[in-house]
A and B are shown apart, each in its own frame.
Chain A
């Protein structure tokens, strides 16, 4: 029997009068890394907004660990174990790296023992948050910033991590570090859901791939298969296979 972390069934959601997600069905197995790809306007970011509670689904259900979370507030969803690492602009630039990471544990601030344990856990996974604890986040490079953002998201020990374009704007060395961290998260039993414009990179990071078009899932499968599918590349990604872009 499949051990599902998240199940979205027949989800419809949108903005104003329009529907972006049109009966979306998506299943994420626990401990997997799934990458969503698709053309602009396919609804990838809307999937994240629905899961994280920023957008209420009009129809359908979103089950996380067997419980319905569709329509809960972002705070409730965060506390239920879903953390998000957005595309950019998430840190507090005038605070130190330590303060930024510490604030990741805002929801558990009253339990000092747990907070300490989480800080130790995050420090083990992302050593730079200790090595450069006193530096201001405003002075970090893109790659360093992304590592701090991930570290901050890990403070709540989330079972599901949503990562929006984790490689965006990063140099290859930083991308490699982020990739390593994503794999570490999955090895530790977390489920990771990525959105990546860089299709080959995304599929390299992922174990599962999802191709979206017009608010629906068109194809799912193992990541390697999707990355190597020439038809997918031309149909949904708008270009022939390209190893670097």
Chain B
């Protein structure tokens, strides 16, 4: 039964990772921008959740739409105010820009919240759902299920809505998109907003799972970039598969070899990339098509 428990943990953790990593990969897919500030967005949302919960005793999960919308606006504004000006200088400059944004946000968060762990502990924080011998802590269960549900909604939106089609079209062929009347600027701003919104939602989930302080952004962005590289930059299905693999790896390592957990996480990425350098879902279509 321990084995099943470990798998369940791994998949729930993978669900949260998948939501967070899909934001990074979406932004890269549309804009060719590696958003290294996604970890800072995440921590910002988590600390905001803590602040509201601490002040008002609010059920933190109710902040999901609020934080999602807030981070969408922030992401949209960062794109329109900064990224759009730096993007013509090339991907290297946008990485530096987003690194600067991350450091600035960390500095502000340090000033406001201090450099101490903050924990959101709603009533279900230390209770579990028991099914036979299977014990699933509510925070992990809720986070995993909500993460996957939000990701599913986002994926459906990207597949079925006009805005989603425009976004995917722009990601695949900017010139082709312009030819059919899609504005690459609007699409890019929308993609940046959606990517940041995933961090907004993810921050709430993170807040009920783990203690947070500003510098944890480094740990998170390292994990997210690892997942995105493993899945194939720009591929949302790749990010989901990569997240599940790494969620399971981490769950097994935490259970059986906890001191080696990080090594297993990054070692798995390294091992897979040795055999598939383009990532798990890095596609190679006919190069003359687009």
A91 at the interface (CB under 8 A from B): yes
B172 — nearest CB in chain A belongs to which residue? A92
* Complex CA distance for A152 and B176, rounded to whole angstroms: 10
B179 touches A92 (CB 8 A): no
Q: Is the CB of B182 within 8 A of A106?
A: yes
* B56 at the binding interface (Cβ < 8 Å): no
Kindly state whether residue B2 has any CB partner on chain A within 8 Å: no
| Contact of B286 with A103 in the complex, beta carbons under 8 Å | no
A138 within 8 Å of B (CB atoms) = yes
Q: Which residue of B lies closest to A85 (CB)?
A: B179
The number of residues on chain B lying at the interface, defined by a beta carbon within 8 Å of a beta carbon of chain A, is 22
The contact size tier of chain A is 20 to 34
Chain B's nearest CB lies how many Å from the CB of A81?
A: 12
Q: Is the CB of B183 within 8 A of A75?
A: yes
Stretch in B63-71, B163-171, B190-198, B213-221 touching the partner: B163-171
Q: Which of A78, A89, A139, A152 contacts B175 (CB 8 A)?
A: A89
* Total residue contacts A-B, CB cutoff 8 A: 81
Interface string of A53-94 (1 = CB under 8 A from B): 000000000000000000000110011000110101111111
A103's partner among B180, B183, B288, B290 (CB-CB below 8 A) is B180
The smallest C-beta distance from A56 to any residue of chain B, in angstroms, reads: 16
Give the residue name and chain of the B residue nearest to A108 (CB). B181
B115 within 8 A of A: no
Q: Which of A79, A94, A153 has the most CB of B within 10 A?
A: A94
Q: Is there a chain B Cβ closer than 8 Å to A104's Cβ? A: yes
Min CB distance B280 to A, Å, is: 16
Do the beta carbons of A109 and B162 come within 8 Å of each other? yes
A137 CA to B168 CA, complexed, in Å? 14
Q: Is B173 within 8 A of A93, CB to CB? A: yes
Q: Are B289's CB and A107's CB within 8 A?
A: no
Q: Which residues of B contact A75 (CB under 8 A)?
A: 181, 183
Contact A95 B169, beta carbon cutoff 8 Å: yes
- Give A126-140 as 1s and 0s: 1 = Cβ < 8 Å from B's Cβ atoms: 000000000011111
Given contact pairs A90-B176, A136-B285, a sample of 12 additional A-B residue pairs in the complex whose CB atoms are under 8 Å apart:
A75-B181, A75-B183, A84-B179, A90-B173, A91-B289, A93-B285, A93-B286, A95-B169, A95-B172, A103-B177, A106-B162, A152-B180
Residues of B at the A interface (CB closer than 8 Å) are: 162, 165-166, 168-169, 172-173, 175-183, 283, 285-286, 288-290
Q: What are 10 sample pairs from A and B whose C-beta atoms fall under 8 A apart?
A: A86-B175, A89-B288, A92-B169, A95-B172, A103-B165, A103-B180, A103-B182, A138-B285, A140-B289, A153-B179
